[in-house]
């Protein structure tokens, strides 16, 4: 908030100041006011003004926290570090020089010429995601200040164009929108927007040194916060021991008490039966996400994929990402259904002791925690994975993690690694997808492309049909109408298959690890889906990697038939598994191809 101040007779009486009103210049800001001059306290700001700069208007103080003396309430000079923060202040000549002896104040428009303002060192509340933008602005301001100087003497006001800032952000691989930070700087008078023609925006910087100090100070504060969060990592060794104990206890219970029942269940269990069970719980619109999430739990066994030539060309494990707006059922599918939720009476369907919940963990903490899982296979459930990509310097390390390559993270605070990450993710990527522009802005983000290249991605849009399905499912859950009758049997079966396929010592003498055999028919079926998707488009929006993810999904589904024929040397991808992969592939092609300008058909 900005005020224009007039000076006159003090409220408590005294001699009138006859010098009149005058403009306050930067080169005189350190001067002491006359004993006869008094400043009226600032009136309260409106309650709705969330961008107010100060709570009270104090005596005049120096710009930017410099060393020039300010003025305290008792009119003694203060050193710069003790000077109070001020709003941007301007003193204008009165339009009527015969105004009586009273203090006059009026609000100056935020669009006023910033050269009439005194900048103040106010905090900007820069978010961690905005720190890279702040650093880039600093570099641009430094360059602009250097350009305007002739033989070391400033010849004009420092300025930069918005297009310059955006180009530099792209070169630095910073994808945060700078508009909010620029808007706050404008409101505080630290930037002034002037027209530049052809729709271009030009920003003048009246106080480049103050702006540089302020932004660097905000960046340093955020770095200190990140350092604290990076060093405060959980006791992960204790967490791993607890999860190992949970898995071992459940496996022993299955082998000691429910082995015959689990074997009988496994002889008839298949992806069709699992799909029918989940469809009965959640309906046609919602069940497919839960089906993929449960299949990912089977895929954690990371069984080898055997080509017709006899070579191993991959494994079943995959990262899973559900992409879309909040409220579409993503968290329920990857977390509540897998780990269980006692508060809503949802039993666990996932592997016991093999799912590590990462809510509230920063990516810096995760990279340190990940070193404890080197050589192990777990599943990390991340409810807000999109937030991880907003942290500075996190994109490349996360790519290495998702690729299961050697990770070595070097920072100014130390080095993490090297270690090799063999675990998997199931994550939510929250974003609005209701409008075409929102959808394609996200798709064009290179951070998002990193996900699509390395994860099995499923898209969602909040349609009226999906809203009704989520609403109906929530009602049935709250009314206790969802039975979950196969939850315990599925979990016992999953535990036994995982133990067999990972060569656990307790089952090594009873079961052996078997690969999943890849055959030509599934590729021919998926090629037919590709050709249909390519019809009518000159530039496909889907990647061939999507087909490979579909094959891996079918291979994971074939693990459900492990106990159907215990003597078979390998597991076969049958017709049901092939059709599951074809449906996933077709739906994801339509999601990518059909949302620009019209709904997916």
* Residue 272 C-alpha from the chain's centroid: 35
* pLDDT for the residue 412: 59
Encode pLDDT of 308-364 as tens digits.
999 999 999 999 988 878 888 888 999 999 999 999 999 999 999 999 998 888 888
Three-state SS for 506? Answer: coil
Instruction: Identify the residue with better confidence: 511 or 7.
Output: 511
Q: Is the pLDDT of residue 8 over 50?
A: no
pLDDT at 91 over 80: no
pLDDT above 60 for 20:
no
Cite the DSSP H helix spans in 125-201: 131-148, 162-171, 179-187
Task: Give the pLDDT of residue 437.
Answer: 47
Bond before 597 cis per omega within 30 degrees: no
The pLDDT of residue 27: 46
pLDDT at 504 over 70: yes
pLDDT at 273 over 90: yes
pLDDT at 129 over 70: yes
Average per-residue pLDDT for the chain: 76
Q: What percent of the chain has pLDDT over 70?
A: 70
Q: Which among 360, 358, 363, 436 is positioned nearest to 399, based on CA atoms?
A: 363
Those residues with Cβ within 8 angstroms of residue 301's Cβ, 6 or more apart along the chain or in another chain: 316, 317, 497, 498, 501, 502, 559
| pLDDT-wise least confident of 62-66, 217-221, 324-328, 573-577 | 62-66
Supply the pLDDT for residue 70.
44
475 pLDDT band, cuts 50/70/90, is very high
Confidence of residue 222 (pLDDT cuts 50, 70, 90): low
pTM for the structure as a whole: 0.63
Residues recorded for the chain:
601
Over residues 385-419, the pLDDT tens digits come to 877 877 767 777 888 888 888 887 776 566 776 88
User: Which range among 146-150, 467-471, 543-547 has the greatest average pLDDT?
Assistant: 467-471
pLDDT at 379: 95
At residue 445, the pLDDT reads 59
Q: Helices (DSSP H) in 404-511: which residue ranges?
A: 436-444, 446-454, 464-478, 487-501
At residue 554, the pLDDT reads 97
Stronger pLDDT, 522 or 598, i.e. the higher one: 522
Instruction: Report the SS3 class of residue 7.
Output: coil
Choice between 229 and 213, residue whose per-residue pLDDT is larger: 213
Q: Do 402 and 454 meet the contact criterion of CB atoms below 8 Å apart?
A: yes
Average pLDDT over residues 258-263: 96
Which is more confidently placed, 30 or 487?
487
Q: Which two tokens stand for residue 95?
A: 């339009």
Which CATH code fits 236-593?
3.40.50.300
The two beta strands, 89-90 and 105-107, are unpaired
Mean pLDDT of 356-379: 86
Q: Is residue 585 scored above 60 in pLDDT?
A: yes
pLDDT confidence of residue 144: 80
- Choose which CATH entry (1.10.40, 3.40.1350, 1.10.10, 1.10.287) describes domain 128-231: 1.10.10
The pLDDT tens digits of the residues spanning 488-503 come to 999 999 999 999 999 9
**What are the helix and strand counts (H, E) for the chain?**
20, 21
**Sheet with strand 304-306: strands edge to edge:** 312-315, 304-306, 516-517, 571-572
- Give yes or no for residue 95 having a pLDDT over 60: no
Residue 51 has pLDDT above 80, yes or no: no
Q: For residues 429 and 442, what is the distance between their CA atoms, to the nearest angstrom?
A: 11
Residue 4 has pLDDT above 60, yes or no: no
Q: Is the CB of residue 482 less than 8 Å from the CB of residue 270?
A: no
- pLDDT for position 391: 74
> What are the domain boundaries of the chain?
1-122, 128-231, 236-593
Q: Average pLDDT for residues 519-537, to the nearest whole number?
A: 91
pLDDT of residue 226: 52
Helix intervals (H) in 258-286? 259-268, 271-282
Q: Structure tokens of 169?
A: 């952000």
């Amino acid at each position: 908030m900005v005020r224009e101040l007039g000076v006159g007779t003090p409220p408590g009486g005294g001699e009138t100041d006859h010098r009149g009103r005058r403009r306050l210049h930067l080169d005189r800001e350190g001067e002491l006011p006359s004993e006869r001059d008094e400043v009226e306290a600032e009136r309260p700001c409106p309650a709705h003004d969330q961008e107010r700069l100060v709570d009270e208007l104090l005596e005049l103080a120096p710009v930017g926290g410099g060393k020039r003396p300010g003025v305290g309430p008792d009119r003694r000079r203060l050193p710069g570090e003790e000077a109070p923060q001020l709003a941007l202040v301007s003193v204008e000549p009165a339009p009527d020089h015969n105004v009586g002896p009273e203090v006059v104040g009026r609000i100056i428009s935020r669009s006023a010429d910033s050269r009439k303002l005194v900048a103040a060192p106010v905090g900007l509340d820069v978010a961690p995601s905005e720190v890279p933008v702040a650093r880039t602005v600093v570099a641009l301001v430094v360059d602009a200040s250097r350009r305007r100087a002739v033989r070391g003497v400033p010849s004009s006001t420092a300025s930069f164009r918005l297009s310059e800032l955006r180009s530099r952000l792209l070169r630095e691989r910073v994808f945060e929108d700078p508009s909010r930070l620029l808007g706050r700087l404008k409101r505080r008078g630290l930037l002034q927007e002037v027209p530049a023609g052809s729709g271009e925006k030009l920003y003048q910087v009246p106080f480049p040194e103050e702006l540089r100090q302020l932004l660097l100070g905000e960046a340093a504060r955020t770095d200190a916060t990140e350092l604290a969060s990076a060093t405060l990592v959980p006791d992960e060794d204790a967490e791993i021991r607890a999860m190992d104990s949970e898995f071992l206890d459940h496996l022993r219970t299955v082998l000691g008490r429910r082995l015959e029942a689990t074997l009988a269940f496994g002889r008839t269990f298949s992806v069709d039966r699992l799909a029918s069970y989940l469809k009965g719980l959640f309906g046609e619109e919602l069940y497919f996400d839960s089906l993929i999430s449960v299949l990912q739990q089977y895929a954690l066994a990371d069984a080898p994929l055997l080509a017709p030539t006899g070579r191993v060309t991959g494994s079943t494990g995959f990262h899973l990402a559900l992409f879309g707006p909040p409220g579409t059922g993503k968290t329920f599918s990857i977390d509540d259904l897998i780990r269980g939720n006692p508060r809503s009476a949802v039993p666990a369907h996932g592997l016991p002791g093999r799912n590590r919940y990462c809510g509230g963990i920063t990516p810096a903490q995760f990279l340190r925690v990940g070193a404890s899982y080197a050589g192990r296979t777990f599943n990390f459930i991340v409810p807000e994975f999109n937030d991880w990509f907003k942290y500075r310097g996190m994109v490349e390390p996360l790519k290495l993690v998702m690729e299961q390559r050697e990770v070595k993270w070097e920072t100014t605070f130390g080095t993490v690694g090297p270690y090799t990450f063999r675990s998997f993710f199931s994550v939510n990527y929250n974003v609005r997808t209701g409008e075409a522009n929102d959808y394609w802005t996200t798709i064009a983000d290179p951070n998002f492309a990193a996900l699509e290249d390395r994860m099995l991605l499923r898209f969602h849009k909040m349609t009226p049909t999906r809203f009704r399905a989520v609403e109906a499912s929530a009602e049935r859950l709250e009314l206790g109408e969802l039975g979950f009758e196969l939850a315990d049997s599925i979990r016992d079966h999953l535990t036994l298959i995982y133990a067999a396929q990972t060569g656990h010592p307790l089952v090594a003498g009873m079961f052996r690890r078997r690969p999943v055999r890849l055959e030509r028919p599934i590729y021919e079926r998926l090629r037919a889906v590709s050709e249909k998707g390519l019809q009518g488009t000159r530039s496909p929006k889907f990647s061939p990697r999507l087909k490979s993810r579909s094959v891996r999904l079918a291979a994971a589904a074939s693990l459900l038939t492990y106990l159907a024929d215990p003597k078979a040397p390998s597991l076969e991808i049958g017709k049901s598994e092939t059709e599951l992969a074809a449906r996933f592939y077709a739906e994801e092609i339509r999601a990518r191809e059909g949302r620009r300008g019209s709904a997916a058909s």
